[in-house]
Amino acid sequence: MSDIIQLLPDHVANQIAAGEVVQRPASVVKELLENAIDAQSSYIKLIIKEAGKTLIQVIDDGVGMSVTDARLSFERHATSKIKSAEDLFHLDTKGFRGEALASIAAIAHVELKTKQEKDETGTEIKIEGSKVTSQEVCATPKGTAISVKNLFYNIPARRNFLKSNAVELRHIIDEFHRVSMAHPSIRFDMYHNGSEIFNLPISNHRQRIVNIFGGKTNEKLVPIEEETDLVTISGFVGKPEYAKRSRGEQFFFVNNRFIKSGYLNHAVNAAFEGLLKDKSNPSYFIYLEVDPMSIDINIHPTKTEIKFEDEHALYAMLRATIKHSLGQFNVAPVLDFNRDASMDTPYEFKGKEAQAPIIEVDRSFNPFTEEKVPSSSGSSSSKQYTSFKKESAGDWENLYAGLESEVSKLNTKDTEFSSIEFESAEVTGELFEDEKKDLGQQTTYQLKRKYIVTTIKSGMVVIHQHRAHQRILYEELLRNITMASAASQQLLFPLKISFSKQEVALLETVKEQLENAGFVFGDSSLGEIEINAIPSAVQEKEVAVLLEQLLSDLENEVPESGFSQTDALAKSIARSLAIRTGVELAQEQQQYMANSLFACTEPTVTPDNKPTFITLTVDEIDKKF
């Protein structure tokens, strides 16, 4: 049998390696931004076209590269960040996968311009699919500018799996957030299709968060800080009243590198225990500084997961730090039996001698004397005394003076007391007559505040009230959106809700469908949406929760324009407005739910294809006995 194991050609190996690093345009953005940070840049500009499918360009003012380094940076396993295997365990840079340029160059057209400060001219290299097409001397400012064009041009199957531009742009913005928040000392700019998305000046951590998520974010932040031998914790958590349904504003940074950790996320949720509404998630921006030797960052290809040496201690410290900050800033109640703050000595009284109180007694005061007229001199020494003069008890007859004349006036009028009718309860033969009548007419029954039981010819039906209401609302919303016939209720005062820039942009994509559903929007600014009218089926207090749930549903997948977008919108709103399990329904509401469900075009399943009811025939019930 002939040999079947063979070495792969370089261009095939590079494409396979690219699959590990480059999953979508956001992966390229992450690698290029991190390389720019490692190059000691103070200003980084990101330029995107068509959500990165056409162009991704990163320009920095870092140290640049020499001619040899520029050429070697595109070779596999070439890096400036590690020299031995031991270096893997105390990395303080962003990555070491050959700057990721070899993998990126294998699946795109790449242009690199770079120049060191000491050199007079720079280097320009063009590569197409791992093949260097040109290498020339060029005039360029200090730093590096790299352009990645036509991503996945030679792997059409991978390109077909990319999502819509809105989804891919969302992922790019997420990566931009993660990198820019970890490095507030660097100025970042971002442009998409020629329009400016972000302009982040050099600042501190708090200002960087506010610049990204809007000015309203500042009032939501509670600072946390703790320093121990194991870890240094800093950053901010959001106040409980601003918790959202989505998990968009949750960030962990370890040694200025964004990570995902369900274990640490559980520690944060434990610190907020008892302070959050049901199904709400707190926002947090937490920065951890640990010894590089105590973590392993190479357990995941994208390095978003980290293995800690002592996770249990870190969990306890993080939870305690957040609870302390929430109590310190009067966000959460604190029980302190050691001292009472109201008993503390004010600062202005410290060091002063205590003065003995002076007691003044009016020795001439006699409560049994006649009323004394107070002095009218108005001086501070004048005293006013209360009169203790008793009224004479002999004048009690005066209290009834004129009563006889009033009685005589009443008698002279044509008032016949015998004609006055008194209201009395109707005497019935049965004490619980109404209740018995209602029980006889009752055709539905609510079981455990979750199911509605009603009868049919062949037996009975058990309806899941939450799922059934979802189906009813879903079909009603589809009719309203497609026919633009929804009824709106005008708000007395416009409702203003704060959102981040990308969330506002996401809502703009479904604004027309929302207006057809009954919403009326006013002037929307960056980070804020004004609503003048809402659908008649929606209460004003539910609007913020409804829009947050809608954003959460649309974040992962924004459908293209057309019916699919309308369908996703109707599903999300129906899911938010449907009656929850545990709500007690009146008799009329139960009957309306059952009648409306069976009037739907597809009453058997929810919009997510879950059953809405089950039937039990008389034969099936008989078999139980």
Cβ(601)–Cβ(471) under 8 Å? no
Kindly report the average pLDDT of the chain as a whole number: 78
pLDDT given at position 435: 44
Cβ(221)–Cβ(181) under 8 Å? no
Task: Tell me the two tokens of residue 146.
Answer: 């790299």
Question: Residue 569 — φ and ψ, nearest 5°?
Answer: -65, -45
- Most confidently modeled range among 6-10, 30-34, 217-221, 380-384: 30-34
Mean pLDDT across the stretch 105-120? 90
Between 15-29, 142-156, 281-295, the lowest mean confidence (pLDDT) is in: 15-29
The angle subtended at Cα 412 by Cα 409 and Cα 413, nearest 5°, is: 95
Number of Cβ within a 10 Å radius of residue 35? 24
507-510: long-range contacts at Cβ-Cβ below 8 A with a sequence spacing of 24 or more?
507/547, 507/550, 507/551, 509/166, 509/554, 509/558, 509/565, 510/550, 510/554, 510/565, 510/569
Confidence of residue 275 (pLDDT cuts 50, 70, 90): confident
Confidence of residue 440 (pLDDT cuts 50, 70, 90): very low
* Angle between the N-to-C axes of helices 563-577 and 465-483, in degrees from 0 to 180, rounded to the nearest 10: 140
Number of alpha helices (DSSP H) and beta strands (DSSP E) in the chain: 18, 22
Buried b / exposed e across 92-124, counting CB within 10 Å, b at 16+?
Answer: eebbbbbbbbbbbbbbbbbbbbbbbeebeebbb
Between 33-37, 432-436, 473-477, 569-573, the lowest mean confidence (pLDDT) is in: 432-436
Confidence of residue 136 (pLDDT cuts 50, 70, 90): very high
pLDDT given at position 567: 77
Mean pLDDT across the stretch 285-298? 82
Between 65-79, 101-115, 597-611, the lowest mean confidence (pLDDT) is in: 65-79
Of 347 and 339, the structure prediction assigns the larger pLDDT to: 347
Query: How far is the C-alpha of 265 from the C-alpha of 319, rounded, in Å?
Result: 10
- What residue spans of 22-155 are helical by DSSP H? 25-38, 67-72, 101-105
Q: Give the three-class secondary structure for 115.
A: strand
Count of all residues that appear for the chain in the document: 625
Class of 10-200 in CATH: alpha beta
As a CATH number, domain 205-328 is 3.30.230.10
Number of Cβ within a 10 Å radius of residue 187? 18
C-alpha atoms less than 13 angstroms from C-alpha of 70 in its C-beta half-sphere: 28
Cβ(79)–Cβ(167) under 8 Å? no
pLDDT given at position 444: 81
Q: What would the pLDDT profile of 500-536 be if each residue is shown by its tens digit?
A: 777 777 777 778 778 877 888 887 666 678 888 888 7
- Most confidently modeled range among 34-48, 277-291, 367-381, 389-403: 34-48
Contacts of 377 by beta carbon, 8 Å cutoff, 6+ apart = none
pLDDT given at position 111: 93
* Domain ranges within the chain, ordered by starting residue: 10-200, 205-328, 447-615
Between 61-70, 98-107, 295-304, 370-379, the lowest mean confidence (pLDDT) is in: 370-379
Between 337-341, 412-416, 570-574, the lowest mean confidence (pLDDT) is in: 412-416
Confidence of residue 380 (pLDDT cuts 50, 70, 90): very low
Confidence of residue 341 (pLDDT cuts 50, 70, 90): low
pLDDT given at position 429: 47
For the cut 80, the answer to whether the pLDDT of residue 190 exceeds it is yes
As a CATH number, domain 447-615 is 3.30.1370.100
pLDDT given at position 97: 42
Query: How far is the C-alpha of 490 from the C-alpha of 520, rounded, in Å?
Result: 9
User: For residue 18, which of 155, 127, 110 has the smallest C-alpha distance?
Assistant: 155
